[in-house]
Copies of this chain bind each other. A is one copy, B any other.
Amino acid sequence: MRTRPSSGQQVRTADGLVWPWYRYAPPVTESATFDPLAGDFGDEAYREAVIDLLGVIAYGELSAFERMVDDAEMAPNLQAKMALAGMAATEFGHIQPLLDRISALGADPVEAMQRFEKPFDDFHAHTAPRDWLEGLIKAYVGDGLAADFYREVAAFLDKQTRDLIVGSLADEGHAAFAVEQVRAAIAADPRVGGRLALWGRRLMGEALSQAQRTAADRDSLTALLAGGIDRPGMDLASISRMFSRITERHAERMSALGLDA
């Protein structure tokens, strides 16, 4: 374990960000007595933003879990159903550590999730898949988009929170199944490609519009991206670069599926 340098000293993190060392939370020790509030989370706005972020990710995973299990009912066979249900169960498994962290930060995890029910429920209401392939694409593309976005934001957080978030985004290889199924369907009947490409664009549009609405509603999240006196943040140019990166990765996923972005 490294010793802590004097307060205010800056370090360069693995992803190249200069970061005030004192923002590093203590090494992850799942001890009941560990109280982040007493330590490095003195900045109340930062703490609230982290709670919001963990809440939005947790509720996003819960609602994705529910929708994927629903969508798994459209599976053409039991094997396919197991695969999508497995993807859902993986998401569900990521929720509890996020909620535990919210509790450790002194907030009510259910309340933290509740704030984000509406945007996600709206997103799912607007993107109910009409068949198995649309459901698969939604799982793959939606998950990927969310993961890209949260990873971008996580780069601005203390190491402990960042590791927790990045860990909660691992898909454990389930995405390969979606790619394989969609490609096989297009190979069997190339006409479905046009409809599914449209579907992918619609998912992207709905996700962006809900994300924007959420950011507008929750000042803490935008403040997190904007940074603070002693915290690096994003200016408009870097926010626009972030959206370019997210859009690019979306296009890569669509192309992996054999679809035009």
Contacts and interface: CB of A to CB of B under 8 A. Distances in A.
Interface string A70-98: 10110001110110011011001101100
Contacts of A59: 78
Interface string A101-122: 0000000001001100100000
A79 to B, nearest CB: 5
A62 interface: yes
A65 interface: yes
A92 B85 CA distance: 8
Nearest to A114: B78
Contacts of A95: 82
Contacts of A85: 62, 65-66, 92
Contacts of A204: none
Nearest to A111: B78
Contact of A66 (B62, B73, B110, B114): B73
A69 interface: yes
A92 B59 CA distance: 20
B65 A110 contact: no
A78 B116 CA distance: 11
Contact of A110 (B77, B92, B96, B113): B77
A150 B99 CA distance: 34
A164 B166 CA distance: 33
B66 A72 contact: yes
Contacts of A78: 59, 62, 110, 113-114, 117
A69 B69 CA distance: 7
A35 B113 CA distance: 47
A44 to B, nearest CB: 25
Contacts of A89: 65, 89, 92-93
A161 B124 CA distance: 42
A73 B117 CA distance: 13
5 contacts: A69-B70, A70-B70, A77-B110, A78-B114, A89-B93
Given A62-B82, A69-B69, A86-B92, 17 more contacts: A62-B78, A62-B81, A65-B85, A66-B73, A69-B88, A70-B70, A78-B110, A78-B114, A78-B117, A79-B110, A82-B95, A82-B99, A82-B110, A85-B92, A86-B96, A89-B89, A89-B93
